[in-house]
Chains A and B, each alone.
Chain A
Amino acid sequence: MILLLPNLSFGSVAYMSTSNTLLSLILFTIGAALLIDWLFLKNFGSEMRSIFFPKDKQPDFIAPEESYKKIDKGFTIALKGAPEKNEIAREITHFSLQPTDYRGILPIPKMMVSEGDHVKAGQPLFYDKDHPETMFVSPVSGTIKEIRRGDKRAITDVVIEKDSETDFLSIDKIDKSASRDEFITFLEKSGGLPLFVQRPYGILPDKSNLPSRIYISTFDSSPLTLPLTQLLKTEDYDFIQEAINYLHLLTDEVHIGLDAKAEEMPAFAELENCHKHWFAGKHPYGNVGIQIHNTQPMGMEEIVWTIDPQNLVVLGKLLKLGVYDSRRYYTLGGDVQKPGYVYTFAGPNMGELLGNEASSDKNDRYVSGSVLSGQKRNADQFVSAHTNKVSVIPEGDDYEMFGWLIPTKMRPSMSHTYLNYLFPGEPLSANTNTHGEKRAFVMTGQYEKVLPVDTYPLPLFKAIITNDFETMRGLGIHELLEEDVALCEFACTSKQPLQKILREGLDYVQSQM
C-alpha cells in the first residue's frame, strides 16, 4: 500500500499547478489515514511493518540463547468475566468418566463395573475392546450411580456418587530403570495412558505407535483463562518434574512450550530434563499443535503425544505416590457473578460445579472447555476429561434489527469494519448468536491471519470437502486438530463449520491409512 503513496504525493504536486487546496487536503487525509492504519493498527503489511519496527524485545527472563519464537498470526479474544484467583468452595458429589471424551475407541466399551458397585479412586471402570490392556479408571471413590447411554446404546457417562472420604486404590510403583515396555504396561494398567493425546488425529495413544516426541504446552491462550502458574503449588511442580523424568522412558524428546508473555518468569521454566521453547504472540500460541509446528513441524508419519500440565500432575502423583489422584483446578469464567476456580476431582457435574451460578431463569450456555472449541453441556451433564475450564456465555437466540449493519453493542470481531479494532484487548461480552447465515466460501486470506501454520487453510478445507486425499495430506491435515482451526471458524465471514469439516477430513485420512 505504501507504494501508492509516493505516486499520490508527487503526482499531486504535478497536478497542483493551480494550488488546489481542497485536492491537497483530501489527498493528505487519505494518506494520513492509510499511514496511521498501517503503522499503528497493523491492518495490512505486518511483514513490511517489521522492517521499520524490529521484533518485539525478548523478555528479560529469557536468556538470548534460549529457543524463542514470536507468533505474529492470531487473535486474542478478550471476553468479560475472566476467571480470577479466587477459590470457590463447591459441594460436588457426582462425577463422571465419559467414554465419548476419548477418540479412537469404540462407542460401547466393555464395562467392568455395574450400577451400585463401590469403586476406589483409580479402580478400572471400563476398557475399549480394541485396546483391551488400556484401563480407564475412576476419578473418585464412590458408588456407581448410573451408566448413561446415548444414541445406538453408546455409553456416554459412568456416573459415580462420591464418598465423603476418598479411598485411593494403591498402585504398584515403577522403577526409573524400567524398560520402555514395562512403563507402557504400567501406564495402561494404572489409567495413565488416557491422560495423553496422540497426534495426529487427537486419539487415545496406542502402544503400537510410540511417540518420537512428547510435547507439553504449559499455558492456555484461549479466551477466559486464568494462568495455571497462579494456581499450581510448589509440590505440583515436583510431581510434574517426576513425570517428565519418567517420560524419558518413552522418548528423550520431551519438549515444553513456555509463555514468553507472562508478567514474570513462569515456574515451569525451572523444570529440568526437557527441551524448553518460549513463545510470544496471540492466541492460538498456547495451543500445543501450534507450538509443535513452530518448533519442528510434524513429519508425515511422525507420532507425537501431548499431555496437559494438570494431567502431568496426576501422572506425577501416580508415579511418585502410587495413587490416581485426579484432583485439578477448574476455572470458571464468563457470564458468572464470581469468576474463579474450583479444586476438585476430574469430571465433575456441571450443575454442581456452577452451583448458584446455574440458574434456570438466565438463558445461558455452559461450555466444558473454551468458548472456541469446548462442548456444550447441560446442568446435569459433566465436564469433559480434556479440559480444566468451564465457560458460561449467554445464548443469542434473539433477533436483532439491522444487527448486521448497525449492531446495538460492541461484540468481539476481527473485522476492521467495526471500530472496536481501535481498542484491542478491551473485554467485550459475547453470545452464541452466529451473527449471520452460512454462506459459500467468499472471502480469502481470513484464515491465514489466525492460523500460525505454514499451510493454505482455504485450499485445505476445500480439499476435505471434496475428499481430495492427496491434497489434504500434503497440506498437513495431520498437524492440525479442531482447537487449532477454532479461530478460523470464529473469524469466518461465511460461518462455515470448519472444526467439523476438519474432523471429517481427519477421520477420512485415518480410515485410509
Chain B
Amino acid sequence: MKKLLERVKKMEPEKGTLGHTLYDAVFTFLFTPDEVTHDGVHIRDSIDLKRTMIHVVLALIPCYLFGMYNVGHQHFVALGQHVDVLSGVHLKFFFGLFKVLPLLITAYVVGLAIEIYYAYKRNHAVEEGYFVTGALIPLIMPPDLPIWMLVFAVVFAVIIGKEAFGGTGMNIWNVALLARVFVFFAYPGAISGDQVWVAGIESASGGAAAEYNWWYTGFLNTIFEWFGASTFDTAATVVDGFTGATPLGLAFTGGQEAIYEVYNSQDIFWGLIPGSIGETSVLMVLVGAAFLLITGIASARIMVSMFVGAVVMALIFNAWGYNSYMEIPWDRQLAMGSFYFAMAFMATDPVTASQTKTGKVIYGFLIGALGLIIRVINPAYPEGWMLAILLLNTFAPTIDHYVVQSNINKRLKRA
C-alpha cells in the first residue's frame, strides 16, 4: 500500500492547475488524507461527507436494479412477448441496462466535469454532493430520454441550480429535481403523456414497430445466441390495445376502476408499471428508505410528516369526492406515481430541506399535502411531488426563519 501511495503521489501535478483539482479528487477518493486536528477537538468522528453520500447511493441501488429490469419488462409487455414477470430475464435486464447505463454515465460525466471545473476555478476541493445528484437524475427520467436532453438538463441544473449559489451545501433547490423540471418545461413531449414511459418502441399504439440499435441486434443478440438463449426480435410489433398509460394517467380519466382494469395492485406495489426509471417500485424505494433511516442519514421527521401530509390530503379528497380521482383510497393513491421516491430521496435532501426540527415537520407536511393537490386537481401536471418539493425548497429558509425566531422570542421573554 505504501508503494502504491508513493507511486500515486509522484503523479501529483502542480497546484492550482485543472489537473491538480482532478488529481486531488481521485487521490482523496483513494486515500483518506493525513490531515490532523489542530485547535478545538483533538479527535473527530470517522464519518465524512464522502461516506454519507456513498450511503445514499447504496440506498439507490435496489431502485436501479429493479428499474433496469422494469424498463425491459415494460418493453416486452408492450410487444406482447415474455409477458410473465420472470420469463426472458436476461433480455429484460440487459435491455434495461443498455437503456439506463448511458443515462447514468452521461449524468455523471457531464455533472462531474462541471463540478471539477468550478472547483478548479474556485480553488477548492471537488465536493461530494454530485455523487448523489448524479445517481438520482437518471432515476427520475423516462427510459427513452434522448442523451442530448439529459446533457442540457444536467448543465442547467448544476450551473444555474448549484454552482451559481456556491456549490455543494449552498444551493436552494434540489439539483436533481431542477434537472427534471428543466426537461419538463423545455421538452414536455419527452417527459409527459402516455407515449414516453415505455422504451424501445416507435409509439405506444398497436402495430408500432420495436426499435433496437446495434447494441441489441449486433452485440447482445450474438452473445445470447452463443448461450442458446432467446434473443431480441426485430420484427416484433406493439400489441393491439396497448396504450402505455401510467396509473396516474388512467386515474385522471377514470379513477380507480380505470387503473385496475389494466394493472393489479401487486404490479403497482412491486413497480411493474410504466414510469420513470427508478420511481415505480414502492418496495425497492422502501428498502432504500429503510436503509437511510437505519443509517440515520435521512431525516425520519421529513419522511413521516410528508407521509402524514399526503395521507391527510388523500382523506380530505376522499371526503370531498368531487371526481373519481379523489375517491381513490389513500394507500392506493400513494402507491401510484413517485410519492415514495420523492419522500425517501428528494424531500430529505438536507441542504434544500428545512434545517430545524419543527421546520422539518412543517416542510414535510406541506410537501405531502401540496403534492397531492397538484397531482389530483391540476390537469396540467400528472404528478405533483417535483413541483411541491421545489416550492417548499424555496420556502424552507422562511420556515426556518420563523422557527428560529420563536426560539429567540422565547429567550428574550425569559430575560
- A residues contacting B by CB (< 8 A) are 1, 3-4, 7-8, 10-12, 14-15, 17-18, 20, 23, 26-27, 30, 33-34, 37, 43-45, 77, 79, 297, 299-301, 365, 367, 371-376, 391, 393, 395-405, 407, 411-418, 430-437, 439-445, 448, 454-456, 458-459, 470-471, 474-476, 482, 486, 489-495, 497-500
Contact = CB atoms under 8 A, between A and B. Distances in A.
Interface stretch (B105-113, B229-237, B298-306, B372-380): B298-306
B287 A399 contact: no
A33 B289 CA distance: 12
Interface in B81-125: 125
Given A459-B404, A489-B41, A500-B39, A399 B33 contact: yes
A297 B407 contact: no
Q: What 4 A-B pairs come out closest when comparing CB atoms?
A: A436-B48, A440-B169, A474-B408, A403-B32
Contacts of A405: 50-51, 54
Contact of B34 (A375, A396, A413, A499): A396
B35 interface: yes
Contacts of A367: 42
A267 B98 CA distance: 72
A412 B287 contact: no
A301 B3 CA distance: 60
Contact of A417 (B38, B55, B293, B403): B55
B36 A3 contact: no
Most buried by A among B128, B299, B301, B414: B414
Contact of A44 (B52, B296, B356): B296
Contacts of B299: 444-445
B270 interface: yes
Given A417-B47, A437-B35, A23 B356 contact: no
Contact of B331 (A11, A395, A399, A475): A11
Contact of B49 (A37, A79, A493): A493
B355 to A, nearest CB: 4
B407 A475 contact: yes
Contacts of B50: 404-405, 436
Contacts of B34: 396-399, 433
Nearest to A367: B42
Contacts of B32: 399-404, 433, 435-436
Given A418-B47, A445-B355, 17 more contacts: A12-B269, A44-B296, A371-B42, A372-B41, A396-B34, A397-B35, A412-B45, A412-B46, A436-B48, A437-B33, A437-B35, A439-B49, A439-B169, A445-B360, A455-B407, A474-B411, A494-B49
A43 B292 CA distance: 11
Contacts of A18: 266
Nearest to B282: A11
A432 B356 contact: no
Given A300-B412, A448-B357, A432 B331 contact: no
Contact of A43 (B167, B294, B360): B294
B295 A415 contact: yes
Given A1-B304, A30-B287, A493-B52, A23 B169 contact: no
B42 A374 contact: yes
Interface in B394-415: 400, 403-405, 407-412, 414-415
A495 B48 contact: yes
Given A23-B270, A412-B45, A486-B40, A442 B351 contact: yes
B118 to A, nearest CB: 13
A29 to B, nearest CB: 9
Given A416-B295, A437-B28, A442-B168, A499 B41 contact: yes
Contacts of B300: 1, 44-45
10 contacts: A14-B331, A26-B287, A297-B411, A412-B43, A415-B52, A434-B35, A434-B36, A440-B127, A458-B356, A499-B39
Nearest to A20: B266
Interface in B134-185: 166-170
Contacts of B294: 33-34, 37, 43, 416
Interface string B276-318: 0000000100110010011111011101100110000000000
Given A430-B43, A494-B169, A456 B415 contact: no
Contacts, number: 274
A495 B96 CA distance: 40
B265 A401 contact: no
A45 B305 CA distance: 13
Interface in B15-71: 28, 30-52, 54-55
A371 B45 contact: no
B335 interface: yes
B249 interface: no
Given A15-B265, A436-B48, A442 B350 contact: yes
Contacts of A495: 44, 48
B241 to A, nearest CB: 24
Contacts of B304: 1, 3-4
B46 A1 contact: no
Most buried by B among A448, A459, A476, A490: A459
Nearest to B268: A15
A411 B129 CA distance: 24
| Size class of the contact patch on chain B | 35 or more
Nearest to B27: A399
B353 interface: yes
Nearest to B31: A399
B5 interface: yes
Given A433-B34, A489-B41, A11 B357 contact: no
A433 to B, nearest CB: 6
B310 to A, nearest CB: 11
A49 to B, nearest CB: 12
Most buried by A among B169, B269, B351: B269
Nearest to B267: A15
A459 B296 CA distance: 21
A433 B295 contact: no
A474 B41 contact: no
A3 B286 CA distance: 13
A477 to B, nearest CB: 10
A289 B367 CA distance: 38
A493 B266 CA distance: 40
A244 B237 CA distance: 92
A1 B39 CA distance: 39
A7 B125 CA distance: 44
Given A18-B266, A371-B42, A489-B41, A433 B357 contact: no
B293 A37 contact: yes
Given A435-B44, A436-B49, A417 B295 contact: yes
Most buried by A among B52, B353, B400: B52
Contacts of A399: 5, 31-34
Most buried by A among B54, B265, B355: B355
Contact of B411 (A26, A33, A476): A476
A440 B170 contact: yes
Contacts of B357: 445, 448
Contacts of A7: 307, 331, 334
Contact of A34 (B1, B4, B293, B412): B293
A489 B37 CA distance: 11
B45 to A, nearest CB: 5
Given A456-B407, A459-B404, A415 B43 contact: no
A291 to B, nearest CB: 17
Contact of A439 (B55, B168, B350, B404): B168
Contact of A440 (B168, B266, B287, B355): B168
Given A411-B46, A433-B34, A499 B40 contact: yes
Contacts of B269: 11-12, 15, 23
A300 B415 contact: yes
Contact of B45 (A45, A414, A482): A414
A433 B408 CA distance: 37
Contact of B36 (A8, A395, A436): A395
B350 A471 contact: no
A398 B36 CA distance: 9
